[in-house]
Amino acid sequence: MRQDAVSRIWSEDASFWKSGEADRRTIAGALGWLTTIEKMEAALPELSNFVRNAIEGTDRVVVLGMGGSSLAPLVFADSFGRRPGYPSLEVLDSTEPASVLAIAGEGDPTRTLFVVSSKSGTTLEPNIFFDFFFSRMREALGEKAGERFLVITDPGSALEKEAAGRKVRRIFPGDPKIGGRYSALSNFGLVPAALAGVDVGEMLRRAKVMAGRCRSGGEDNPGLALGAAIGSAAAAGRDKLTFFIESPIPRFGMWIEQLIAESTGKEGRGILPVEGEPPGEARAYGDDRVFAGIERKGSGKIAAALAPLSRAGHPAILFEVEDALDLGAEMFRWEFATAVAGKLIGINPFDQPNVQESKDRTSEILSGRETGGGRRQAAELDEKALGGLLGSLKDGDYFAITAYLQDTAAAEESLSHTRVRVRDTARVATTVGFGPRFLHSTGQLHKGGPDTGVFLQVTAEPAASLPIPGKPYGFDEVVAAQAAGDLAALKSRGRRALRIQLPKNVASGLESLEKAVERALKALNARSAAPGREQRSS
């Protein structure tokens, strides 16, 4: 059975996953990730030559992308830091105006190389980023503005045509047979990594070793073993895959999060990846968890955190890495595992039907076809409604904070405090996603997965308007439309969802939210402790 599964995957047998003709066509056109390592190895000499020339006079490389085109570069930037003799690597994947302005306000734009990255070439966010930064570069460099831009997109896309018209420095092709979330080891991930001085040759070499091991039909196949473990656990009700990951790849979970959520969250099923939730005591977790840890070889920190959870009966898996160059191998392991898990839970792991729905709702709001959906609302924190939302949590649910705010360390810390308080009180899995990034990640599972999510959407009054050249709307209106479209999509499915609007002073608003959540949870505990009622675990 194992050998049959492995041979069918490697022979690109689409019927291994689904028998329907439409599904088979989609799957057959999405398996290029299995062989991309060899293709990229062959392209390395040319890529290396390009990088040597491109980094002259360049201090920063900024990737303008979203989802599959931005998460791998984001993880590479965080894992490797700035390499001596190479530019820094940064990523913009937020339409929140302060986030755009933070990138625009750093460094000398004429010494910045922008990488516009979009497989389809029609994704809203990279396209409006391109418009915004190209307009600014044209003010600085005139007709030579295009020399400070690279584009990565599939051949024949609208973005490719636009890039050619703007005379960008280079257009790197995507592989039409690789979906965005499986594209880390293609040009989408490796071109930015190479520009930042990462040894992509060594990273591919290690990935190739892992791919070779994943060809085995025995128990030593790492991708098959992992996929079987998480897929069978999900089928048995343990569908909250919780990550504890340390240096040298601490944010790798953000990349895995998209891979698993977008691949498995559909048809009312799915595996929820839980990234960034701080470790807790065993009693803080329900029986719907599986834990996966990744640590530096010999560290023992993550192993120590997993040990008491394992003793309490929670399944736990631990992987070790030598250094950040093992990312290539781990990315392939998890891609293969996700494909296997998709088979076990009975879905097509290569489509993302509800992501397009969110894009369509945003477009409708921006074009004015939905009246009032994208209008700003005043600051509002309805504590009664918040209590009702939290009171709806039950065993097997998860609590998702979806924050359409600037992703800052302070915002992450505040929302982390809130999620941990909810987890420890209600014993449910918790996630935090910053919009619009999560729309291209866990957003698929939120809408297409099981009806076990409880959603707290957090928005804020924009501090300022930020126009987009050539568009009748600005970034502030885009992020408002994305939030409104997301909430409408959730409510159209009957999901339990509430929107909280913070004031312009986001820090103060988040502090108020923390206190409101704490009060609501205390009230719920008090009610459940009343005579004749079962007390909520805490």
Model pLDDT, residue 132: 98
At 269 the three-state DSSP class reads strand
In this prediction the pTM is 0.94
Model pLDDT, residue 374: 45
How many C-beta neighbours within 10 Å does residue 1 have?
6
At 235 the three-state DSSP class reads helix
Partners of residue 467 on adjacent β-strands:
474
Sheet with 149-153: list strands edge to edge.
88-92, 60-64, 112-117, 149-153, 170-173
How many C-beta neighbours within 10 Å does residue 501 have?
19
Model pLDDT, residue 379: 64
CA 538 to chain CA mean position, Å: 30
Q: Quick one: DSSP state of residue 533?
A: S
Model pLDDT, residue 1: 58
* Signed CA dihedral, 4, 9, 10, 13: sign only: positive
Q: What angle do CA 376, 382, 385 make, to 5 degrees?
A: 115
CA 202 to chain CA mean position, Å: 25
Cα end-to-end distance, the chain, whole Å: 44
Q: Residue 195, class by beta-carbon neighbours within 10 Å (0-12 exposed, 13-18 middle, 19+ buried)?
A: buried
Of the candidates 27, 106, 120, 9, which has an alpha carbon nearest to the alpha carbon of residue 351?
27
Average pLDDT, integer, range 16-35: 94
Q: What angle do CA 262, 266, 271 make, to 5 degrees?
A: 65
CA 119 to chain CA mean position, Å: 16
> Can you tell me the distance from the alpha carbon of 262 to that of 105, in angstroms, rounded to the nearest whole number?
33
> Can you tell me the distance from the alpha carbon of 473 to that of 24, in angstroms, rounded to the nearest whole number?
40
Average pLDDT, integer, range 51-58: 97
Model pLDDT, residue 531: 62
Of the candidates 117, 62, 109, 65, which has an alpha carbon nearest to the alpha carbon of residue 87?
62
Model pLDDT, residue 376: 52
Average pLDDT, integer, range 447-469: 94
CA 389 to chain CA mean position, Å: 25
Average pLDDT, integer, range 159-183: 97
| CB distance 113 to 87 below 8 Å | yes
> Can you tell me the distance from the alpha carbon of 155 to that of 64, in angstroms, rounded to the nearest whole number?
18
CA atoms within 13 A on the CB side of 376: 16
279-335 confidence digits (pLDDT tens): 999 999 999 999 999 999 999 999 999 999 999 999 999 999 999 999 999 999 999
Of the candidates 435, 432, 426, 424, which has an alpha carbon nearest to the alpha carbon of residue 397?
426
| CB distance 423 to 399 below 8 Å | yes
Model pLDDT, residue 537: 42
471-516 confidence digits (pLDDT tens): 999 999 999 999 999 999 999 999 999 999 999 999 999 999 999 9
If one compares 377 and 234, the residue with the highest pLDDT of the two is 234
| CB distance 285 to 309 below 8 Å | yes
How many C-beta neighbours within 10 Å does residue 142 have?
8
DSSP E strands: which ranges in 211-287? 240-245, 272-274
Average pLDDT, integer, range 141-166: 98
The model's confidence at residue 527, banded by pLDDT at 50, 70 and 90, is confident
- What letter represents residue 189's amino acid? G
At 518 the three-state DSSP class reads helix
Structural element, H or E, at residue 413: helix 409-426
- What letter represents residue 484's amino acid? A
> Can you tell me the distance from the alpha carbon of 112 to that of 103, in angstroms, rounded to the nearest whole number?
10
Model pLDDT, residue 360: 83
Q: Torsion angle, CA of 209/213/214/217, rounded to 10 degrees?
A: 160
DSSP E strands: which ranges in 396-535? 398-403, 429-434, 453-460, 496-502
Partners of residue 434 on adjacent β-strands:
403
403-446 confidence digits (pLDDT tens): 999 999 999 999 999 999 999 999 999 999 999 999 998 999 99
182-240 confidence digits (pLDDT tens): 999 999 999 999 999 999 999 999 999 999 999 998 889 999 999 999 999 999 999 99
Partners of residue 319 on adjacent β-strands:
294
In the structure encoding, which two tokens stand for residue 477, read together?
Answer: 């209106």
> Can you tell me the distance from the alpha carbon of 161 to that of 167, in angstroms, rounded to the nearest whole number?
10
Which single residue is written with the structure tokens 């734009």? 109
| CB distance 227 to 2 below 8 Å | no
